[in-house]
Amino acid sequence: MNDTYYEFGTAADRWDRAQLFFEAKEYLTAARILGGLVEEAPEQVAPRLLLARSYYHSARLARAEEELRAVLERDPVESYARLMLGRTLERQGRQAEAATHLRLAAALSGAFGQPGNGA
């Protein structure tokens, strides 16, 4: 794999660069940058969540699921990770498993049982 300019610089530089690529819908490039950041600081949730989103949007669903489960292992009440995991599982056709995570996400975000959310 060839190294390119966007993989160099401080962690903050690479984080900013990854966000720019993500916003530009260059998900594979964003994932490449974020993968390095996650390796360097696996305990940080934000880079791992953006990496999972990059994988999700580039249809790398197994990798998205893996990253989301890693987030939830560290922070089981991270509602956005639960929601994303539910959506990722839905996209893989795993409806029953997805429903569990979607219900948990709704409960954690306070949306569970509120009018207008289908509960």
What confidence tens digit (pLDDT) does each residue in 57-67 have?
Answer: 999 999 999 99
- The average confidence (pLDDT) of the chain is 89
Nearest of 91, 102, 43 to residue 71 by alpha carbon: 43
Please identify which residue in the block is written with the tokens 């969540």. Answer: 49
Tokens of 32: 């490449």
Q: What is the pLDDT of residues 10-36, one digit of tens each?
A: 899 999 999 999 999 999 999 999 999
Alpha carbons 109 and 94: distance in angstroms, whole number: 22
Q: What is the pLDDT of residues 87-115, one digit of tens each?
A: 999 999 999 999 999 999 889 887 655 54
Centroid of chain to Cα 1:
24
Q: What is the pTM for the complete model shown?
A: 0.84
